[in-house]
Amino acid sequence: MSILKWYPAATVYDRLHGTAFDDLFQHFHRSLAAGNADTGGITPNIELLEKKDSFVLRVELPGVKKEDVDISVNLGVLKIAGEVKGDIEEGSECRCSERMYGKFLRTFELPSTVDADAIAAVHEDGILELCLPKRKEALVEEKRIKIA
């Protein structure tokens, strides 16, 4: 028979909950360390604005260098791919991390009004901003019609 020390503030539920949380965190950490091969773990947030002559697409990419981002257009589909790389120093052990690492991929079907040949991108302060200019024929001015 073993003797267990009794802690009045810690119930059996509290002890099990702590263990279950530790197991869940370890599983979560392992799945992130696997590299998110399906790119399903990271989805950068976006913001899409429409101006008179263009669309502006902003993608949040904090900590991502512009060299780690690939932007392409093919058959009317805009593809933004890249990788969020970890920066844990050699010789250190991560005890807790809420950051996500791995590859990401976002695709957007462009409207026919966008001139794909004139798309421009700027990456600054963790924000990737793409200017998607509208085609000249899409820039018709609104014609007012008088009511008789």
Q: Which of 85, 86, 69, 73 is nearest to 122 (CA)?
A: 69
Is 83 within 8 Å of 104 (Cβ atoms)? Answer: yes
Mean pLDDT by 10 residues, the chain (148 residues): 58 50 40 40 90 94 93 95 85 84 92 93 96 86 86
The residues facing 72 across adjacent strands are: 79
Using CA atoms, how far apart are residues 21 and 73, in angstroms rounded to an integer?
A: 43
CA distance 48 to 58: 6
Q: What is the pLDDT of residue 31?
A: 33
**Fold of the domain built from segment(s) 12-88+95-137:** Immunoglobulin-like (2.60.40)
How many angstroms separate the CA atoms of 122 and 128, rounded? 6
Q: What is the pLDDT of residue 140?
A: 73
pLDDT at position 136:
85
* Cα–Cα distances in angstroms (integers) from residue 7 to residues 19, 22, 59, in the given order: 16, 20, 50
Q: Where are the domains of the chain?
A: 12-88+95-137
